[in-house]
A and B are shown apart, each in its own frame.
Chain A
Amino acid sequence: MSIAGVAIVLAVLVGSADQALEGPVTFSLVPVQATKENRPAGEKSFGEGLESFRTSLEKLPFDTFKKVKSDKASATANKEARVPISARYTLTVTPLAKDGEGRVRVKVCVEEKAEREGKKVVRKAVDTTAALVPGEHLLLGGPSMDEGRLVIFIAVEKEK
C-alpha cells in the first residue's frame, strides 16, 4: 500500500466524520398551535407570520394554524439552550457537531410538564436527534395543546 492508498483512506474518513462546531449555533424556532375548527372543506386559516410555513402546514389534518411565538436561541457545542413555549412545554436544543456534508447535528427535546399519580413530572414529549441543513426547517409536532396540537418549526440559521 502506497502513500496514495493511505490518502484515499484518509480522504474517506475526513469526508464522512463529524467535525467540531466552531462558535455558537443559532436556531430559529416557530411554535404553532394547530386546531380543527370545522371550516368548510378545503378551507384553511393561517395566522399572521406563517406564510413561509404554509406549504408544510397544509399537509397536516388541521384547518386552523396560529403562531404561538417566534424566537431564536444560540448554543455552543454540547450546551443546551432552553426556550419556553408555553406554561406546559419547553423546547431544548443542543448542537452536537457538524457532519461531513455541512449539516448541523442537533438534539431537540420538547419537555412537557405533566402529572402522574398526583405528582408533577417533566417528560420528553418528543426527543429527537437530527442532522439539519442550515436554512431548512425540521417540523416537530403532535403533542396536545389545549384543543389542538403543538407544531414546532426549527431551523439552524445559515452562517453569515
Chain B
Amino acid sequence: MNKWQREVARRFDGESDVQPMAPSAEALAYEASLRQLREGAKLAAYRPEIADAQFPSFMEGIRESIEAPRRHHRGFWAVLSLSTAALLVALSAFLVFGGGPDKSVTTQVEAATTEIPGATVEKYTNEDGTAVVWVSTAQRDLL
C-alpha cells in the first residue's frame, strides 16, 4: 500500500477530512474497491436469527422430522415375495390342472411280481414305447 492509497483509505474510514482537489482515476477506483470490500464483509457477518414469533414454527418443523416414520425398503421386498409366491402357485396349478399329461411323460411300471413257482418277471419298454410286464414260465408250471 503506497502513500496515496493510505490517504484514500484513511479518508474512506473517516479518519481524515482532507479532500483532494481533483482525485485521480486510480484513487476513485481504489475507493470503489474498498466500498465493495466493506459491503461484502457486512454480508458475510450476517447471522440469521430466529425471532420469538418464529420459534413455535421452528420447533414444529423439528418435531415433525423426528416423529415421521423412517422410510425403508421392507415394503418392496414383501411385495416382491408375494408376487413370486403367487406366480409359483399359479404355475404349479397350471401344470397340475391345466394341460394334462406332458408328451414326454410315459407309462411307468413301478413294481411287478408273480406267485408262479419258478417264474421270473421282466419289465421293460418296447420299441414302440409300450410298457411291458412279461412273466417267463416253463410251459408246464411246477405245481
Q: Do A and B come from one complex?
A: yes
Chain A residues with a Cβ under 8 A of chain B:
2-4, 6-8, 10-11, 14-15, 19, 55-56, 59, 100-103, 105, 112, 114-117, 123-134, 136-144
Q: Which of A6, A11, A101, A141 contacts B105 (CB 8 A)?
A: A101
Apart from A2-B81, A141-B134, 11 more pairs, CB < 8 Å = A10-B89, A56-B132, A100-B96, A102-B100, A125-B114, A126-B121, A128-B110, A128-B112, A128-B113, A134-B101, A139-B126
Chain B residues with a Cβ under 8 A of chain A:
77-78, 80-82, 84-85, 88-89, 91-92, 95-96, 100-102, 105-116, 119, 121, 123, 126-137, 139, 141, 143
Residues of A within 8 Å of B108, CB to CB, are 103, 130-131
Q: How far is B80's CA from A137's CA once the two chains are assembled, in angstroms?
A: 46
Residues of A within 8 Å of B114, CB to CB, are 124-127
The residue in A101, A123, A142, A143 that gathers the most chain B C-beta atoms within 10 A of its C-beta is: A142
Interface of B is mostly: mixed
CB-nearest residue of chain A relative to B140? A144
A102 contacts B88, CB within 8 Å?
Answer: no
